[in-house]
Structure 1
Amino acid sequence: MAVRIRLTRLGRKKKPFYRIVVADSEASRDGKFLDILGTYDPLQDPAGITINSEKLQDWLGKGALPTTTVKSLIKKAAVVG
């Protein structure tokens, strides 16, 4: 079971809001997940990114791999150097 850190979509049509979650790589985009790490709101100016750094470090230590989008969000939020 490969574990990924990725986005799951919430919100209404044309008003996206995302959760940053830890999920099995084979689970559907909005399906089951293991843990919620934070949120991403692209409609705010600047985009609102909140990430729980303790949970993030814990999951990265366990071998979870972030997607490229989540990796860029982590850099923007300046959680991990």
Structure 2
Amino acid sequence: MVVKIRLARFGRTNSPFYNIVVAHARTARNSRPLEVIGTYDPIPKKDPYDTTGRLHKDIKLDTTRAKYWIGVGAHPTETVWRLLSMVGILPPKHRPGAPSTTAPKGQANEA
């Protein structure tokens, strides 16, 4: 059976909070997972130790367990793939709507 790394929503209305869980692909979103490997809080908060005043989203993850589950074949969802790439576990995935970093076809570097 296929195992997925995905988000399970908790929290209140308009105040989401997610657990990053490992679960069978065909189970319900909030059913009992095989393992909870982290949490994700998408509501930006100000870091009291940051002097620049930037807001950040809180991601707490057990990296060793995430690497283990990916190593044994668990498939992360698109959102979890993005979170794992932010942490540095997976490479960033190409997104179709993202701007490219290469020059357009007509403008070649002439040296």
Do the two structures share a fold, i.e. TM-score over 0.5? yes
Q: CA deviation at 1:46?
A: 1.1
TM-score norm. by structure 2 comes to 0.69
Question: Contact 1:7 / 1:70 at 8 angstroms: preserved in 2?
Answer: yes
Gaps of 5+ in 2: 45-54, 92-111
C-alpha contact (below 8 Å) 2:5/2:21 kept by paired residues: yes
Pairing 1:1-81 to 2, within 5 Å after superposition: 1-44=1-44, 45-81=55-91
Query: C-alpha distance in 2, partners of 1:73/1:59?
Result: 15
- After superposition, the C-alpha distances for 1:8-54 in whole angstroms (9 at most, x for unaligned) are 00001110000000000000011121001101000133111111111
Distance (Å, rounded) in 2 between the aligned partners of 1:52 and 1:43: 20
Larger CA Rg, structure 1 vs 2: 2
Contact 1:42 1:48 in 2 (8 A): yes
For structure 1, the 5+ residue unaligned runs are: none
CA RMSD of aligned residues (A): 1.1
Please, what TM-score do these two structures have when normalized by structure 1?
0.92
Point out the structure with the larger helix share. 1
How many pairs are equivalent? Answer: 81
Aligned to 1:74, the other structure's residue is in SS state helix
Identity of aligned residues (%): 40
Shift of 1:80: 4.0
Aligned match of 2:104: none
